[in-house]
Amino acid sequence: YLAAFGFLMLAAAMPAAAQRTRRPAPRPTPKPTPARPTASPIVLAAKQQVANQLSNVNMFVDKMGPIALDIENIDKEAKTNRRIKKETIDANETNKKKLVLAIRGMRQALTTLETDFRTKPQLARYLPQIQGITSLCTQSEDNAIAGRFVASKGPLRQAAQKLSDTMAVLP
């Protein structure tokens, strides 16, 4: 019996040795993520204004295209064809004035926006991207006053690109 008991003890000890306890794998300690710097309310408001003006300029250029082409075509017809109706010429002159006034209004809004970036210290770091939109709008207005309405879209497209670049860098 003693030999059988010893054999059983030995058999019971072997599986116990095979079942050794494992140490739990060390868990990586979570590294704190740095707090994302929040933008100041002035920067957030400026971003909203830039987005609004970008939308306004793009919509204006899209609507201005066919109107500018019609104005220039009627001007060419009036110079070459004496049979064009006076009402058409008068309506065209009215449309020219309206378009110049609309560009002037766009220039005022863009001038205000650029001035904000120049005068507010929180926005000064983003000034290089938006700088020059006022002069581009002035070029557009000058082209329209000179009767080059189709050409006046070019500087407005460049201003829209500058606004888009500014949107890309604003937080």
Question: Could you read off the pLDDT of 56-74 as tens digits, one per residue?
Answer: 889 988 888 888 888 888 8
Q: Is pLDDT above 70 for 13? A: no
pLDDT score of 21: 61
Confidence category of residue 16, pLDDT binned at 50, 70, 90? very low
Question: Could you read off the pLDDT of 116-147 as tens digits, one per residue?
Answer: 989 988 888 888 888 889 999 999 999 988 88
Residue 150, number of CB atoms within 10 A of its CB: 16
pLDDT score of 20: 56
Q: Is pLDDT above 80 for 7? A: no
Q: Is pLDDT above 70 for 15? A: no
- Residue 69 to residues 53, 83, 124, 151: CA-CA distances in angstroms? 24, 20, 39, 10
Using the structure block, give the residue that is written with the tokens 């609309």: 102
For residue 155, the Cα-to-chain-centroid distance in whole angstroms is 18
- Provide CB contacts within 8 A for 122, sequence distance 6+: 40, 42, 43
The residue among 134, 92, 132 whose CA lies nearest residue 111 is: 134
What SS3 state is found at 29? coil
Give the pLDDT mean for 29-36: 76
Secondary structure of 99-160 in HEC code, one letter for each residue? HHHHHHHHHHHHHHHHHHHHHCHHHHHHHHHHCCHHHHHHHHHHHHHCCCCCCCHHHHHHHH
- Provide CB contacts within 8 A for 64, sequence distance 6+: 99, 102, 149, 152, 153, 156
pLDDT score of 51: 92
For residue 124, the Cα-to-chain-centroid distance in whole angstroms is 18
Question: Could you read off the pLDDT of 93-122 as tens digits, one per residue?
Answer: 888 898 889 989 989 999 998 899 899 888
The residue among 118, 103, 83 whose CA lies nearest residue 159 is: 103
What radius of gyration do the chain's Cα atoms show? 36
% of the chain beyond a pLDDT of 70: 89
- Whether pTM exceeds 0.85: no
Give the pLDDT mean for 7-31: 66
